[in-house]
Homo-oligomer: A and B are copies of this chain.
Amino acid sequence: MSHRPFHHGNLRTVLLEQAEVVLRERGIDALSLRELAREAGVSHGAPRSHFIDRGALLDALAERGFIRLADRIREAASREPEDHARALHAAASAYLAFAERDPALLDLMFATKVGEPSEAVRGAAERLFGTMTDIMNAGVEAGAYDADDVGRLTLLLSATVQGIAALVTSRRITTPQSEALVDDAIRLFLKGASAG
């Protein structure tokens, strides 16, 4: 048996993955660097080599969250290449599914920043917005919107879906209500956004 640390070269990922579990099961208040270290079998000082402080861990979690959410949305929309309305619906549903599985992570991703958001988080958030933009551009090609409007419409759609997600994670509406709300949102969005 070696006495090299079990997680040598891997501790960062182990901490992040365990943190996601804690976030999912017990929420952000239960997330402690010392507990993560204990569960990973390292000393309480070890995370310091990978995250300068608790905020840096939270940033890394938010970054991973944005990347995963963007991937889920892109994947969902890509299953409806022929029908833009259905693609929007699939994307929104994927967003809501993420919110229901990982509400505390979504909170973290959209949490108030005291200063500027970190570069990594900002980039990951832009990846999500880029995914939404790609989906909307497919709608332009299908004749659903004017090309000039796509930037503003993408922002509006993103805000609307995030708002619905916030109502779900804060338990203000139930899952069935959120599904009806997504239907309404997309129907009204397409009607209101149509050129002319």
- What 4 pairs between A and B have smallest CB-CB spacing? A163-B163, A192-B192, A159-B163, A188-B192
Chain B residues with Cβ under 8 A from A163's Cβ? 158-164, 166
Given A125-B172, A156-B188, A191-B191, residue A110 in contact with residue B181 (CB < 8 A): no
For the complex formed by this chain, how many copies does it contain in all? 2
Judged by a CB distance under 8 angstroms, whether A21 is at the interface is: no
Check if A156 sits within 8 Å of B170, measured CB to CB: no
Check if B110 sits within 8 Å of A170, measured CB to CB: yes
Q: Which of A98-140 contact B (CB under 8 A)?
A: 103-104, 106-107, 109-114, 116-117, 125, 129
Give Cα distance in the complex from A164 to B103, angstroms. 18
Closest to A28 in B: B112
Closest to A102 in B: B112
Chain B residues with Cβ under 8 A from A170's Cβ? 109-113, 117, 125
A-B contact pairs, 25 of them (CB 8 A): A27-B112, A27-B114, A28-B112, A103-B112, A106-B112, A107-B107, A107-B112, A110-B166, A110-B170, A110-B172, A111-B169, A111-B170, A112-B170, A152-B181, A155-B173, A158-B163, A158-B167, A159-B160, A159-B185, A162-B163, A163-B163, A188-B188, A188-B192, A189-B192, A192-B192
